[in-house]
Amino acid sequence: MKRWGITLPLTGVPLAAHRDLVRELPDLGYTDVWSAETAGADAFTPLALVAEWAPGLRLGTAIVPIYTRGPGLLAMSAATIAELAPGRFVLGIGTSTPTIVSSWNSLPFTEPYARSRDTLRFLRAALRGDKVTETYETFAVSKFRLERPPTPTPPVVLAALRPGMLRLARREADGAITNWLAPTDVPKVRAELGAQAELIARIFVCPTEDADAARNLGRLLISSYLTVPVYAAFHEWLGRGEALRGMHEAWAAGDRAGANAAIPDEVVDDLVVHGPVERCRERIAEYVAQGLDTPVIALLPTGDDPQDMVRRLAPS
């Protein structure tokens, strides 16, 4: 089945005001709705609404941070959505960033690889309905059992960028979620994940013919994300280290404007889909042609009605 996903909620649209759009999504050709969790809506509540409004859609979190909920609460939240959407929910987890975990939630951001591995192992057991008593490397759980284990057990996918996390996803998860990559980067990511696991990617889409406006917005986002060490290392691995060197040097010197200006047009055009709607659809399809299983549109603001943009970006 060819998948075509959208990230909800949309910027500037009240959560309850998504109902009519969500009900249209299956007829438009969308197969998936994915949520995110930073400092806006939490990852689970929007999916509970979507499960009621459009029962045929697959739902996923991309991603829930593994540090900001205890292991038991994370399993409970996932089980609740899985019960509302049996067989149609994918739990996407990841480390998130030190800003979200430590600066905003006052929690230690330590041992991200080991914490990811341990959380995957706990969730596998807990979502099956097992009673879990286990001392993992990064946390311990005693006598936890879900009162309402979901049937079927939902798949769990891991946010992964570089080879270590991608191989962990290959071994212990049902797939991987990634972002900030070009279609031509997909084969390198796929090679580490393997051919069988699902590969999901959030793709930033700015449907406008004003290339300068799209690139300016893209530069703001790229300098915000790709200066985070894990993303910097990701793009070094992908081969963009030299192209982004000026951005990193200016950012380290406290010159945000200079960092934005140092990002080449070619990098923005690689990482942000922009142009007329028809060209945006074609560009998203290029990711699939390169080996991506599930493209998930993250709509960037253009000044136009975002709900209309979602309708126009539909694959049909």
At 73 the pLDDT is: 98
Indicate the pTM of the whole model: 0.97
Mean pLDDT across the chain: 97
Q: What is the mean pLDDT of residues 269-282?
A: 98
Q: Is the peptide bond before 200 cis (omega within 30 degrees of 0)?
A: no
Positions of E strands within the chain:
5-7, 32-35, 58-61, 64-65, 89-94, 132-135, 140-144, 156-159, 175-179, 198-206, 272-274, 294-299
Query: How far is CA 154 from each of CA 40, 80, 261, rounded to the nearest angstrom?
Result: 25, 11, 44
Model confidence pLDDT, tens digit, residues 25-42 = 999 999 999 999 999 999
Contact between residue 58 and residue 4 where contact means Cβ atoms under 8 Å apart: no
Q: What is the mean pLDDT of residues 65-69?
A: 98
Q: What is the mean pLDDT of residues 239-261?
A: 98
At 316 the pLDDT is: 73
Model confidence pLDDT, tens digit, residues 211-236 = 999 999 999 999 999 999 999 999 99
Positions of E strands within 137-190:
140-144, 156-159, 175-179
Task: Give the pair of three-digit tokens for residue 194.
Answer: 């393997």
